[in-house]
Chain A
């Protein structure tokens, strides 16, 4: 069910964590992945889940390449990271929003498990204690009935009765078609639950064997004197507790802690005793179905996103409205221009970056990122959900609100001018044109056939998408710096180009790529415009190509994003 071939992985290329690892895990077992802290347990699990990508080699999980994170793969595997992060919703809402993504989800089981674990039903999930959250996510994961169920340190944070409940639930959930992997360094919690043991240390699999074969090949006993069969010994009250080669064919109880120490102490001998099984079966072809776009899944994703982030998005929008109003309130100081209007409009356009960042802030925390990346949706669906929410929700909302504010303010000022200062309507038009100049109006839009706000809107949104996806927490500052650098380089470049062509005296105005201002000794300055066609090209480049490219980079980034 899980096949790993010549797998290599390292966080940087010089220091590899795993090299040339091969193993295969079969359904119907509970695998215990044991290793010291930092041995690479979580890394291996993340690679199986497609949250990290192997440097070389192949991993195949339920006949899929995890790296592609296809929905048909994701809905058949469930991963519980060590730290869990929940949105601010109740059990019931969580089920409503997330369960539909998993075709084999069983609602009855979910509530049954929650009851067993004594997880309260009336509390918001993110307000619960760490242990309660962990139990809730375990209950949910078990109820998903996925073929592969991976848990990273599941018993961390569980109290004593919950650990017992956990063992009961996992024992009950194991079927011949399912595969469980539990990583832990607290072996006592899971002693009798696991039936296959994988021990990793120093980036190597030192042991991968079933309890049965360990029973056959090793024995665990207390002896008075050590002999050459002993692999590991520990002093105890009655003599020496040892792990020894099972020459007498004794049936002894496995002490996993002692086994672990024995394996770490004698990796070579252990390897000889448990000769590695080689994978002979060829990798199966990966099935492809319904993995690009599915309307129902997309709808579920939109619903989930809006439900979880709606409040923050709404709050941010209200703040933006306040900013626009504030900008208008400075009208009294700016009698001669429509500056407050433009400022308000620009604030509104810019604020799309805030929305995009909220929609994609999943990557600032590993646990949230893991849950977002393993949500059974295709990359296109996740990307499109951001696009749709910004373009079809933010933009109309902003335009409507802006129009309302604009109309209200202008009407108010016009009335003031007429009633207090006795302007006639005609005088208004000539003396105070800005009061009759509605910002979003037909002629205004007609004058700029492009829809002058759309390209910057998409551009800003795209910048935020790329920023959020590439730079995690520090997105804003880093992206800002990168783009500032780019823009600066461009304008500097065009400036230098003009200087090279025309001579030292010329200079271009910043960020104008089609116009040069030339200063000579005779005339103070005159401007030179590039030809119409070049102006058109630059315009299309800036207004269409760049925003589109940014969004497309975002889409590509979705597919190669690692944890």
Chain B
């Protein structure tokens, strides 16, 4: 895996696991790779993966079953959405707002555009 992002590696590994869970590669309630296996696959230090798993456990996205391994929580998807929402609002939204302000974009115009985009790409109405 190529770690390009600006985030710390352990968080990037976390993102990778989120993706796998959201893409159903790691189904909810099922076991995920062991720390060692994931470290080998990603060519990173097992202690870094350990830190990722600790972090995910703390966010209640995965659970440890002693002696068996790590499992995806049953409400992992919700937790991931919750976490990502928080993260988006905290880190990315300020940038969006800043650009909206700098480029003098009307917030109301944007709403229409947003709805059109959702319709075109996701075929759902809000």
Residues of chain B contacted by A194 (CB below 8 angstroms): 45
Q: Is the CB of A171 within 8 A of B6?
A: no
Q: Is the CB of B47 within 8 A of A29?
A: yes
Q: Which of B7, B36, B43 contacts A192 (CB 8 A)?
A: B43
Shortest A550–chain B CB gap in Å is 52
Shortest A436–chain B CB gap in Å is 79
Shortest A182–chain B CB gap in Å is 11
Q: Is the CB of A251 within 8 A of B11?
A: yes
Shortest A447–chain B CB gap in Å is 74
* B22 close to chain A: CB less than 8 A: no
Residues of chain A contacted by B9 (CB below 8 angstroms): 192, 211, 253-254
Q: Which of B8, B42, B47 contacts A252 (CB 8 A)?
A: B8
Q: Is the CB of A171 within 8 A of B45?
A: yes
* A193 close to chain B: CB less than 8 A: yes
Q: Which of A30, A174, A191, A192 has the most CB of B within 10 A?
A: A192
Q: Which residue of B lies closest to A210 (CB)?
A: B47
* A20 close to chain B: CB less than 8 A: no
Residues of chain B contacted by A212 (CB below 8 angstroms): 51
A28-B47, A171-B39, A194-B45 known; A252 vs B7 contact (CB < 8 Å): yes
CA distance A220 to B3 in the complex (A): 14
Q: Is the CB of A171 within 8 A of B8?
A: no
* B89 close to chain A: CB less than 8 A: no
Shortest B94–chain A CB gap in Å is 13
Contact pattern, A 380-418, Cβ under 8 Å of B = 1, otherwise 0: 000000000000000000000000000000000000000
* A215 close to chain B: CB less than 8 A: yes
Q: How large, as a class, is the contact surface on chain A?
A: 20 to 34
Residues of chain A contacted by B51 (CB below 8 angstroms): 212
* B5 close to chain A: CB less than 8 A: yes
Q: Is the CB of A215 within 8 A of B8?
A: yes
Residues of chain B contacted by A220 (CB below 8 angstroms): 6
Q: Is the CB of A253 within 8 A of B5?
A: yes
Q: Is the CB of A30 within 8 A of B45?
A: yes
Q: Which residue of A lies closest to B91 (CB)?
A: A250
Q: Which of A172, A194, A195 has the most CB of B within 10 A?
A: A195
* Contacting residues of chain B (4-50) with chain A, CB-CB under 8 angstroms: 5-9, 11-12, 36, 39-48
* Contacting residues of chain A (194-212) with chain B, CB-CB under 8 angstroms: 194-195, 211-212
CA distance A193 to B45 in the complex (A): 5
CA distance A253 to B44 in the complex (A): 13
Residues of chain B contacted by A195 (CB below 8 angstroms): 45, 47-48
* Contacting residues of chain A (228-267) with chain B, CB-CB under 8 angstroms: 251-254
Residues of chain A contacted by B8 (CB below 8 angstroms): 215, 251-254
Residues of chain B contacted by A251 (CB below 8 angstroms): 7-8, 11
* Contacting residues of chain A (160-185) with chain B, CB-CB under 8 angstroms: 164, 167-168, 171-172, 174
Q: Which of A28, A193, A215, A222 contacts B44 (CB 8 A)?
A: A193
Q: Which of A174, A191, A211, A252 contacts B6 (CB 8 A)?
A: A252
* A478 close to chain B: CB less than 8 A: no
* A561 close to chain B: CB less than 8 A: no
Q: Is the CB of A253 within 8 A of B46?
A: no
The main secondary structure of chain B at its interface with chain A is: helix
Residues of chain A contacted by B45 (CB below 8 angstroms): 30, 171, 174, 192-195, 211
Q: Is the CB of A253 within 8 A of B40?
A: no
Residues of chain B contacted by A28 (CB below 8 angstroms): 47
A171-B43, A172-B39, A172-B40 known; A253 vs B7 contact (CB < 8 Å): yes
Q: Which residue of A lies closest to B42 (CB)?
A: A192
Residues of chain A contacted by B47 (CB below 8 angstroms): 28-29, 174, 195
Shortest A245–chain B CB gap in Å is 16
CA distance A192 to B43 in the complex (A): 7
CA distance A212 to B42 in the complex (A): 18
Q: Which of A164, A171, A222, A252 contacts B46 (CB 8 A)?
A: A171
Q: Is the CB of A192 within 8 A of B48?
A: yes
CA distance A462 to B88 in the complex (A): 78
CA distance A253 to B14 in the complex (A): 13
Residues of chain A contacted by B40 (CB below 8 angstroms): 168, 171-172
CA distance A30 to B49 in the complex (A): 14
* Contacting residues of chain A (305-359) with chain B, CB-CB under 8 angstroms: none
Shortest A106–chain B CB gap in Å is 16
Q: Is the CB of A253 within 8 A of B3?
A: yes
Residues of chain B contacted by A30 (CB below 8 angstroms): 45
Q: Is the CB of B43 within 8 A of A253?
A: no
Q: Is the CB of B7 within 8 A of A167?
A: no
Q: Which of B6, B39, B43 contacts A221 (CB 8 A)?
A: B6
Residues of chain B contacted by A252 (CB below 8 angstroms): 6-8
Q: Which residue of B lies closest to A193 (CB)?
A: B45
CA distance A309 to B36 in the complex (A): 42
Q: Which residue of A lies closest to B1 (CB)?
A: A192
Q: Which of B3, B8, B42, B51 has the most CB of A within 10 A?
A: B8
Shortest A155–chain B CB gap in Å is 12
Residues of chain B contacted by A171 (CB below 8 angstroms): 36, 39-40, 43-46
Q: Which of B3, B11, B45 has the most CB of A within 10 A?
A: B45
Q: Is the CB of B43 within 8 A of A167?
A: yes
CA distance A253 to B3 in the complex (A): 9
CA distance A504 to B8 in the complex (A): 90
Residues of chain B contacted by A215 (CB below 8 angstroms): 8
Contact pattern, B 38-67, Cβ under 8 Å of A = 1, otherwise 0: 011111111110010000000000000000
Q: Which of A168, A211, A222 contacts B43 (CB 8 A)?
A: A168
B positions within 8 Å CB-CB of A: 3, 5-9, 11-12, 36, 39-48, 51
List 15 other contacts, CB 8 Å, given A28-B47, A195-B48, A212-B51.
Answer: A30-B45, A167-B43, A168-B43, A171-B36, A171-B39, A171-B45, A171-B46, A174-B46, A174-B47, A191-B3, A192-B3, A252-B8, A253-B6, A253-B12, A254-B9
Query: Can you name 11 A-B pairs with beta carbons within 8 Å?
Result: A171-B39, A171-B40, A171-B43, A192-B44, A192-B48, A194-B45, A195-B45, A211-B9, A212-B51, A222-B6, A254-B8
The 8 A-B residue pairs with the shortest CB-CB distance in the complex, in nearest-first order: A167-B43, A192-B44, A195-B45, A171-B39, A251-B8, A195-B47, A172-B40, A168-B40
